[in-house]
Amino acid sequence: MAVVKWLVPIPIVQHTMSYTANRVMWLWASINNATLNIINPVEWQIEGGEALTQQGWYLVICNHQSWADIVVLCSVLRNRIPMPKFFLKYELLYVPFVGLACWALDMPFMRRYSKEYLAKHPEKKGQDLQTTRHSCGKFQYTPTTVVNYVEGTRHSYDKAKKRRSPYQHLLSPKSGGIAYTLAAMGEQFEYVVDVTLAYPDNIDKPFRDMLMGRLTKIVVKIDMIPISQVPQGDYFNQPNFKREFQTWLSSRWKDKDQYLDNLYRDGQEVQSIFDKAA
């Protein structure tokens, strides 16, 4: 489908290929969901998200515990909201197969100029954001979901200790990525959807346990935050707003960490992992 879309630059053909590619992604998520449930004696605990719709525009932020997260997130959300998009570095467009597939799915590719480059080419300042805004223009009329794993990498207790994370079960959130997404598409989003994922019986290696049929419980908590309640401003040029936005995101992460702590409080497995990390 990506090859057809690339070779036939006719809008109706490209639109059809994009639509079909997204249906294939939905099928992939559905097969993953069926396989997960057939192989594993999993109990699902899903809280919130009743007002989600496939006709909405959402920015999804989520903690990142495991490689299993994408499978779980797509399984839970595939029939609730539009299939997710990920902001990707422009260089990934040239990765064989992967770049072309992501392009077929209309995932936005962004250019980010380094401070060193901008120092030499000050005329390029702000152009990366304008280019991304332009590439996201197609989402103005098509319901869209953008996903951002705010921690930037998968959490582990060893990693949290090395990075001196102020949270018990999370890494510190990185505000730049979500601020960039809001700057590019903020006026299009209706809600920020804050998702908390947890595997309370399989905390150590949930992806391995999922593949081996040992995953027994998945917790998904969904909070919908109207975009009007999210701080608005120029993150990259207004220091006061940058601090305000970081404070807002840290507050969300503090609540998320408290929720996980309450969920894990009686689990013996968490204590053994703390002992290993100590």
pLDDT digits (tens, 9 = 90+) for 9-30: 898 998 899 899 999 999 999 9
Angle between helix axes 68-77 and 11-39 (nearest 10 degrees) is 110
Whether pTM exceeds 0.75:
yes
CATH architecture of 2-277: 3-Layer(aba) Sandwich (3.40)
pLDDT, average across residues 194-205: 93
Identity (one letter) of the amino acid at 201? Answer: D
Q: How far is CA 208 from CA 23, 31, 168, 198, 277, in A?
A: 28, 18, 23, 15, 20
Cβ distance 221 to 50 under 8 Å?
Answer: no
Q: 175-185 and 239-264 helices cross at what angle (nearest 10)? A: 120
Which residues are registered as beta bridge partners of 146? 59, 85
Work out the average pLDDT over 158-182.
86
pLDDT at 271 over 50: no
